Amino acid sequence: MDIPALFHESEQKICRAANLRELEEVRIALLGKKGQLTGLLRSLAELPLQERKHLGADLNGLRENIQILLAERQRTLEEEETTQGLAREGIDITLPGIPPLRGRRHVLLETVEEIEDAFLRLGFDIVEGPEVEWDYYNFEALNMPAEHPARDMWDTFYITERMLLRTHTSPVQIRCMEETPPPIRAIMPGLVARHEALDSTHMDVFFQIEGLVVDKGISFANLKGILDLFVAMIFGSERKTMFVPSYFPFTEPSAELMISCGVCGGSGCQTCGHGGGWLEVLGCGQVHPQVLRNVGIDPEAFTGFAFGLGAERVAMLKYNIPDIRLFAENDLRFLEQF
């Protein structure tokens, strides 16, 4: 029996199998129950012992080699079929994948939480109030009775004649003082709305954080001390601050806190506008005695200070953002920078 010829013949059949189905047919023809090699192995029994031993070893070696060839051919054909399948479906597995978009926290929310953390470290509590407010809390209790001209500064959207979208977080001061007797040391974050013409520093819905301290012997010096500390904590000690006299019906005396503009460095630009190198971030002052009386606190016994800051303005100054409208536009090119 010519074993090498048999191997060569089997090898050619295996190589010629053009797909997995044909290869299976070749395997059955060689190694199946009625296969060529199986028949030869079976016929060994009829040979004399010496010859059987000799030929048996050769035939078993041949079978092992054929099995190796079959396995190799099977692997090649499987790979070919996968590639052809992908090509048929138009899939190119060598192209880079499309990475899924990863979300991130909004820069404004990050700033609000940073401000909250700063005040928590200074010993303040966090108190919240409603965004839809009564006229009484938004205006009247804050020393602005009906027809008071200062109401014009905080024109808003009315739900009914007495119910409105709050124009500042100051009404939460009143709610806080009504519920808690002094000493009070709290901040009150939240959204506010105004009937406002939009520009690079003005939105009609924006985020304020109110601050209120009421206790015995609280003075304007305490207010300045706390706000200077706050500015240093958020911006670092190199940013300059300036207190400018101002007017609010619910504080006396009143001031606005300006911070030097990081976009232009102080020469004046679109961001600080007519501020000429300064951007206003908050209004503040000592709580007006009449406001304390409105909530039943004796102004002879207790004094306090309050402030209300715009969170967008703080974020603009911190990250040199030139236009406040960017916060609400949802433009990924802007949001991805933070």
Q: Pick from 194, 234, 259, 272 the residue near ligand FA5 by CB under 6 A.
A: 194
310 part of the interface to ligand FA5, by CB under 6 A: yes
Distance CA 18, CA 90 (A): 23
Question: Cα dihedral sign for 7, 10, 15, 19?
Answer: negative
Q: Look at the alpha carbons of 107, 113, 117, 122 in this order and tell me if their dihedral is positive or negative.
A: positive
Based on the shown chain and the rule CB under 6 A, indicate whether residue 248 belongs to the binding site for ligand FA5: yes
**Of these, 134, 137, 206, 302, which contacts ligand FA5 (CB under 6 A)?**
206
326 binds ligand FA5 (CB under 6 A): no
Which CB sits closer to ligand FA5, 73 or 313?
313
For ligand FA5, the binding residue among 144, 187, 284, 326 (CB under 6 A) is 284
Q: Are 239 and 230 in contact (CB under 8 A)?
A: no
Measured from the CB atom, the residue of 37 and 165 that comes closer to ligand FA5 is: 165
> For ligand FA5, which residue of 263, 306, 321, 326 counts as binding (CB under 6 A)?
306
Rounded to a whole number of angstroms, the minimum distance from the CB of residue 172 to ligand FA5 is 10
Per CB under 6 A, the segment of 118-126, 174-182, 201-209, 261-269 that binds ligand FA5 is: 201-209
Which residues of the chain form beta strands (DSSP E)? Answer: 125-126, 132-134, 163-165, 184-193, 205-215, 241-248, 251-260, 278-287, 303-310
Residues 285 to 304 in contact with ligand FA5, rule: CB under 6 A: 285
Q: Dihedral, CA atoms, 260, 262, 267, 269, nearest 10 degrees?
A: -110
Q: Which stretch binds ligand FA5 (CB under 6 A): 86-94, 133-141, 144-152, 307-315?
A: 307-315
Which among 79-87, 195-203, 227-235, 236-244 is the span making contact with ligand FA5, rule CB under 6 A?
A: 195-203
The closest alpha carbon to 167, from 179, 180, 150, belongs to: 150
Angle between helices 3-16 and 20-31 (to 10 degrees): 160
Question: For the range 74-80, what are the long-range contacts, defined as Cβ-Cβ under 8 Å and sequence gap of 24 or more?
Answer: 74/20, 74/23, 77/17, 77/19, 77/20, 77/23, 78/20
Which stretches of the chain bind ligand FA5, using CB under 6 A?
A: 168, 170, 194, 196, 202-203, 206, 208, 210, 248, 251, 280-285, 306-310, 312-313, 324
